[in-house]
Chain A
Amino acid sequence: MMDAIVELKNLRVEFKAQNSGQGRKVAVKDLNLRVEAGEVFGFLGPNGAGKTTTMNVLLGFVNATSGSAFLFGVNVCEPIARQRIGYLPEMTYYYKFLTAEELLRFYARIFGLSRLEADRRIDQLLKLVELESVRKRPIKTYSKGMQQRVGLAQALINNPDLLILDEPTSGLDPIGRMKVREIIQRLKSEGKTIFFSSHELGEVETVCDRVAIINQGELKAEGRVVDLVEKHQANLEKIFLKIIGYEPQVSA
């Protein structure tokens, strides 16, 4: 069997309860998940389901309470596991005093790109996310959507084999969303793997090969989008609502 790109084995993450002081908050409950090479994998769940937490484990920001996580077969504790990934955080501000170009050059240096290569990639990426005209302006002058685009560009700077995107389309205008979809599809055609979370179920349905739905840290459903649709005889949105146990108040 081929190595999975992302693999979670009995992953469990607990946080200290912040308010009451008693008991622990379980954010992810014994999660098992595999993402194979070349897949576009949608990670769905309501607010507070544990999506971001799972991704944080994959990136090494949060340590698993128990269980383990692997990227390219390497345990996520090792920094080298992150050489070939691109990551777009859910909410971020970048160094506000830098310009988009400087920010990308900084990240390029971290990946050890040569100057020439970095220049080429930066030009390419800024064109892709349509920030060419403002590349020399400090990021603090950007709108939220523009910052999101910078985020996307920095996630792609090292031409990663795996992209981890936490709600990549939030805050983008319809054209921006379409762009992101296009980018995802193009990367897929290049053979990259994409693992992303989203609340835009229509979007997920069009771009994803497989999805996983979690609720309160537990895996509720996993499978190919077409299989799920076939099995439940409904669109992804309906399936989602059903799985998380939401009963429509007024049924037609």
Chain B
Amino acid sequence: MNTVLALSGVVIKEMCRRKDFYVLFVLTAVITLVMGSVNFFGDAKIVRYLKDICLLLIWISALVIAITTTARQIPAERESRTIFPLLAKPVSRGQVILGKFLGCWLACGMALLVFYVFFGVISGSREHEWPFLQYFQAFWLQWTMLGVVVGMVLLGSVVFTAPSSNATILFIVVVGIIALGRHLNQVALQQPEPLGTLVYAVYFLIPHLEWYDVRDLVIYNQHQLGWLDCGLATVYAAAYVAMLLFATGMVFRRKSLNL
């Protein structure tokens, strides 16, 4: 465990010292503030469009951070050969995977927290209320979802050779699931038979990341989620993460380290 934590510490340090996060955060903040300063028919109470834009930017940024950070981890270790002195230590390849996962996930969580604090300040300054628990739920669910994304990208990074193609493919897949995953069963029913079953199987197989997108509930001041539902969603994500990490470990164990 100590080894895994040490490995994740390196990933977090890397993220802190790279510019990606700061660039995305500043971009989000600037766009939000500019949009916030626009005057719509002289009504200062209008706020939801701002929450909408801010959350959209947060979602995009978080996905970009999670995917790019994770996608380069293992290829970079191999390319710069840092994997050799590392594996010469009493570290198993499984621990490397676990450490990388934990590091990326924690790093994403930290970045996400900063984003959400900003969001809270912006929306709170307009609405004069802080539904803290709801924001926390939204944060938690998004973070959980990012765990699954990190797991997927990690698996991708040992399967695909080029980190950039891995990142692109996974980005499309993740956005695709978030946008369409909900409706695949409906699509399946409209297909002719062999295809319909196939689509339905895909529907049951993919991690349903769209659940974790509760932006609408936050933007439109809807009901708070049940904690049980949050818990179940967390368990569901954890199961997928475990499966993805296991698969990653299996592939990585067989992989030759030489380029």
Chain A CB within 8 A of B89 CB: yes
**Interface pairs (19), CB distance under 8 Å:** A59-B87, A60-B87, A61-B87, A79-B91, A82-B89, A83-B90, A89-B85, A92-B84, A93-B82, A96-B80, A97-B14, A98-B13, A107-B85, A109-B3, A109-B6, A109-B9, A138-B17, A151-B85, A164-B88
Chain B CB within 8 A of A102 CB: yes
**Given contact pairs A61-B257, A96-B80, a sample of 11 additional A-B residue pairs in the complex whose CB atoms are under 8 Å apart:** A59-B88, A62-B257, A80-B90, A93-B81, A93-B82, A98-B13, A106-B6, A106-B9, A109-B3, A110-B2, A110-B90
* A106-140 residues at the B interface, CB under 8 angstroms: 106-107, 109-112, 138
* A68-89 residues at the B interface, CB under 8 angstroms: 79-80, 82-83, 85, 87-89
Quick one: which of B3, B10, B258 contacts A95, CB cutoff 8 A? B10
Docked Cα-Cα span, A82 to B84, in Å, equals 12
Q: Hey, what's the 0/1 contact readout for B1-35 against A, CB within 8 Å counting as 1? A: 01101110110011001100000000000000000
Which residues of chain A have C-beta atoms less than 8 A from B7's C-beta? 110
Total of A-B residue pairs, C-beta within 8 Å: 78
How many B residues have CB within 8 A of the partner chain? 26
Chain A CB within 8 A of B256 CB: yes
**What residues of chain B have their CB less than 8 Å away from a CB belonging to chain A?**
2-3, 5-7, 9-10, 13-14, 17-18, 80-82, 84-92, 256-258
What are the 3 closest A-B residue pairs judged by CB atoms, nearest first? A87-B88, A109-B6, A93-B80
A154 touches B91 (CB 8 A): no
Interface centre among B17, B90, B91, B92 (most CB of A within 10 A): B90
Docked Cα-Cα span, A174 to B14, in Å, equals 34
